[in-house]
Structure 1
């Protein structure tokens, strides 16, 4: 997390809502945004990504699985 915060300072993030959360909070937040129909990009590790794509197999979630 420290590294992410360090490198974010080198980029223009104005207009972006970037939040770093625990996996549980991130999943809840992402699901709430999806329910509202809001565009949502979640960056996760493999375990949470696989959970989201298993939970919503019909939704096109941007994952590396699309490349397979």
Structure 2
């Protein structure tokens, strides 16, 4: 399943790259892109565990940029 999410308070392109690397390493993630310019996360992950993986991705983002949050629909 592939979905896009808006990011709030992403402050720098370097942090976006670090977040993308961390999310890509999570188990069940097929691909992930974090765009500083559009302030978006595009996540392609295992359908059965998508919500769980999204929560792990949110934690990974917080480790890199404590103020950054993923806007959940």
Q: Same fold judged by TM-score > 0.5?
A: no
TM-score (ref. length: structure 2): 0.33
Q: Which structure dedicates a bigger proportion of its chain to helix? A: 1
TM-score (ref. length: structure 1): 0.35
Larger Rg: 1
